[in-house]
Structure 1
Amino acid sequence: MSGHGFHVHGPHDHEVEHVAHHGGDKFTARVAVLTAILSTVGAIFGYMGGHSQNAALLYKNEAAIQKTAASNQWNYYQAKSNKQNLAELSVTLTTGEAQQKFKDAVERYKREKEEIKAEADKLEAEAKESDHKSSEEMHVHERWALATTLLQIAIALSAIALLTRKRWLIGAVLLAASGGVGVGIMGYLHL
């Protein structure tokens, strides 16, 4: 409504306003209340869908960071392997004290590589787990999105029922709403 007395609203709004100001039949009042309830539940489902999508993206980002860290560890492992190979070659080419120094270096590189490998394996496992969590959250997001869509369909059908005064359409409204709530429960339960 503007300050100049000009008022624009849809037919559904008109029916709801008419019932509020002038009373009306129970059909109109019940459909208006049903529509308000469906809108509220739909808003909650929409919020939950956004939350699960954000969680999926967060897990996917975490997986990418862990994969990068694991790759860095494997590069470090390869660098230690190269140094170990050079030290092993030096053992063959030297004698005496120098040879013992290179033998000690070979053993040190072996120990260091074991630690580096363990860390790289750990990071890869964490990345895999984060990828799995991301996939689970995307599945839940799809449930919330479907539930929200079904509730939006129910709201649209309730508006059509209200405008056409076709009581049989309420069955379709309840069917779509039931489907939406059912899928929403599946999303909540992570099914």
Structure 2
Amino acid sequence: MSEEFEVPSPHEHHLEHVTEHAHASGDNFAGKIAVMTAIMATIGALFSYQAGSTESEAAMNKNNAAIKKTEASNQWNYYQAKSSRQNLAELATHIPGVDAAHYAAEAQRYKSEKEVVQKKAQALEEEASAWDEKSEQVLHQHHRWAQAMTAIQIAISLAAITLLTRKEWLKKVAYGAAGVSVVLGILAWQHI
């Protein structure tokens, strides 16, 4: 029968010793870091959700702008067709033996129809511009959420390193990064 022996590494032995010592002595340092890390992870999840949400909204707004631009383009094509027909009708008024009055009336009809189409195309272009602007604003907000998320991830990483090194100055840096993250989140929330 073979017996298995487990030989712990020096690192594992050290971690066990530190853990036992921390629990025995009521180590507040580790507890505070653990609670702060959990809070930062929760804040990070909220920031991540908001970043994804605003990214989707910006994409939808950009899509709406593209749809309106396509509709405007279609109207401008329709406008060009009306212009061509108007030009042909005006040309026909100069051909001998043709009912010039009929073609003059047709040219006038195409001219008035063109004006309606032109106004509709311009209105669609304005809508497209409005959607584009809205997309840019939301995309800016998305970037703020992403910056806040990055800062909170850095704070969580620093907190983990702080727990291993037990350096008080590193804890302050981790908390500072978390503070920066919260400020960026507030700026994103307020659309700044």
How does the TM-score come out when normalised to structure 1? 0.85
CA distance in 1, matches of 2:32, 2:58: 39
2:189 match: 188
Spell out the pairing of 1:53-132 with structure 2 (5 A cutoff). Answer: 53-94=55-96, 98-132=99-133
What do the CA deviations read for 1:140-178 (whole angstroms, capped 9, x no partner)? 111111100000000011111111111221110111011
2:7 match: none
Pairs aligned (count): 174
Say if 2:23 is the partner of 1:25: no
CA distance in 1, matches of 2:116, 2:174: 62
CA distance in 1, matches of 2:123, 2:135: 18
What stretches of structure 1 of length at least 5 have no aligned partner? 1-10
**3-state DSSP of counterpart to 2:167:** coil
Give how far 1:91 is off.
1.5
CA distance in 1, matches of 2:58, 2:97: 59
Give how far 1:137 is off.
1.2
What stretches of structure 2 of length at least 5 have no aligned partner? 1-11
Quote the RMSD (CA, aligned, Å). Answer: 2.0
What do the CA deviations read for 1:9-57 (whole angstroms, capped 9, x no partner)? xx9xx89xx69xx573111111111000000001000100001111111
2:148 partner amino acid: A
How does the TM-score come out when normalised to structure 2? 0.85
CA distance in 1, matches of 2:96, 2:134: 53
CA distance in 2, matches of 1:115, 1:178: 56
Of all paired residues, the percent bearing the same amino acid is 48
| Higher-Rg member (1/2) | 2
CA distance in 2, matches of 1:95, 1:47: 74
CA distance in 2, matches of 1:103, 1:115: 19
2:54 partner amino acid: S
2:190 partner amino acid: L
1:163 match: 164
CA distance in 1, matches of 2:104, 2:129: 37
Give how far 1:134 is off.
1.2
Structure 1 runs (4+) greater than 3 angstroms displaced: none
1:84 partner amino acid: Q
Give how far 1:95 is off.
6.3
1:177 partner amino acid: A
